[in-house]
A and B are shown apart, each in its own frame.
Chain A
Amino acid sequence: MSLMGEMGQKAFNLGIPISVHLDVTYRCNERCVHCYLDHDDHGEMTTAEIKDVLDQLAEAGVFFLIFSGGEVFMRRDFFELVEHARRLLFNVKIKTNAVMIHEEEARRIRALGVDTIQISVYSHRPEVHDAITKLPHSFERSMKAIRFLRDQGLKVTIANVLMTANLSDHYQLQKLAAEMGVHYTVDPTITPMMDGDTSVLALRIPGEELTEVFHNPALVANMEEFCAPPKAPTEDDLEGYSCSAAHSFCYISPYGDVFPCVQFPLPSGNLRQQKFLDIWNLSPQLNEVRSIQNKHLTVCSSCSHVNSCTRCPGLAYVEGSMRGPSTADCEKSYYRTGVPTANMLRQGVEKPVGRPLVQIQPLAASL
């Protein structure tokens, strides 16, 4: 295990939030067809409030800080927030569409010692990308920004969301990323909108297509190992946990709501009412999430994939139970290895079938 992996495990074991994802706004200048956010401002935290939250996160031991949104640069104070975060010595990663980043902004990001910039790009073809973002010339602007950032020596990652609208383009986009000397990552997860509208799920690619993605050697480091049938779980595996949500990671919304993860819409406290460490240590919701070991999972504890599955407890939660299966991950395990999951066998189906999902809501709406 790498030294960084060891420290991550140490944080996990000690229950220290080593990593936090903070959305500073849900506003955006793009209107991506697959986005689950409403893009309105329902009372974002002020500059002073976010700075106070950052102070608290540093005090709590947070090292890795992800700034995301919405589009982070929609906040006029964004650089002020990054500056404050860097003064507190966080390792900062920014997720952005980059259309508002020019040469000057790229220089400033470099000077601030930001670690990584992740930029959403959906195709190598401007017309496809712009049709997804619904912002004319967004491809051209994002590409220009990627070059400015790369030329500053920053680590840049192109992040693609695979959906029906761009499925045939991802090889070419991956090639473009390589030509530009930047990293490339791809994710096929599409979730319902915040208002519960599920029409966006029609953009999900058919599960069968995942087989091709998982068997792409350019995307998977060790394909043979990655696609191998799962090994029988040991007793130690059943003592383990699904992921780091609520153990060493959490998500904070622009309104100060704290959740176990950005994909786990279980409201666990609000930073306008409580201190971060009080929420982290005392929230019944976070404590419930961290109490669930693999052996407690209703279906997955008997699944041969339990140790190698990417089971997301947040997606399981939006499917109905945080202890239940996450069908999207059953799909991935099945199409990765060809071995049916316990969830599929239980349902007697030949391919995974999911239940409707419910999306993240602000804390106030759930009270």
Chain B
Amino acid sequence: MSETYVARSSAIAARKLAGEMMVMNSMDSTFFTLNEVATAIWQAADGRTPLREIVRKNVCEEFDVDPEQAQTDAEQFVAELSTHGILLVADHPLASEAP
């Protein structure tokens, strides 16, 4: 089975405000807020850890969620953020884009 790797784009700004993570892409000014689970995935998106591993360690172990459902939701979330250039997704490890 091929793995999915996710990394944060270098064009984003982010900050937690009262428990919600604000994320903004400087390229097109898209602005999101992430819930706790999405924040956990986003923070762990280092380009080296497979998404499956992130979901197991940072979502299932931290939040009371069904592993299969969590994996499906994570894939959907990652796909959506990648269309806005906030996350980079690949089937191989990614180099960090951090500024």
Contacts and interface: CB of A to CB of B under 8 A. Distances in A.
Interface of A: 2-4, 7, 10-11, 14, 16, 18, 58, 61-63, 83, 86-87, 89-92, 111-116, 153, 155
B15 A63 contact: yes
Given A89-B12, A91-B13, A113-B11, 20 more contacts: A4-B24, A7-B20, A7-B22, A10-B17, A16-B17, A18-B17, A63-B15, A63-B17, A63-B22, A86-B10, A86-B13, A87-B98, A90-B13, A91-B26, A92-B26, A111-B99, A113-B9, A115-B13, A115-B29, A153-B27
A63 B13 contact: yes
B17 A61 contact: yes
A15 B17 CA distance: 11
Among B11, B14, B15, B17: residue with most chain A CB under 10 A:
B15
15 contacts: A2-B31, A3-B33, A7-B22, A10-B17, A18-B15, A63-B13, A63-B15, A86-B99, A87-B98, A87-B99, A89-B15, A112-B99, A115-B24, A115-B26, A116-B26
Contacts of A10: 17-18
Given A87-B98, A91-B24, A113-B99, A7 B17 contact: yes
A7 B12 contact: no
Contacts of A89: 12-15
Interface residues of B, number: 21
Given A3-B33, A86-B99, A155-B29, A111 B13 contact: no
Nearest to A58: B15
B20 to A, nearest CB: 8
Given A3-B33, A63-B22, A113 B13 contact: yes
A284 to B, nearest CB: 26
A13 to B, nearest CB: 9
A77 to B, nearest CB: 16
A114 B31 contact: no
Contacts of B12: 89, 113
B16 interface: yes
Contacts of B10: 86, 111-113
Contacts of A63: 13, 15, 17, 22, 24
A107 to B, nearest CB: 13
Nearest to A65: B13
B18 A92 contact: no
Contacts of A18: 15, 17
Contacts of B32: 3
A89 B14 CA distance: 5
Given A87-B99, A155-B29, A14 B18 contact: yes
B64 to A, nearest CB: 27
Nearest to B31: A4
A114 B27 CA distance: 9
Q: Which 7 A-B pairs have the closest CB atoms?
A: A91-B13, A86-B99, A63-B15, A115-B26, A113-B11, A89-B14, A4-B31
Nearest to A82: B99
Contacts of A113: 9-13, 26, 99
Interface in B6-44: 9-18, 20, 22, 24, 26-27, 29, 31-33
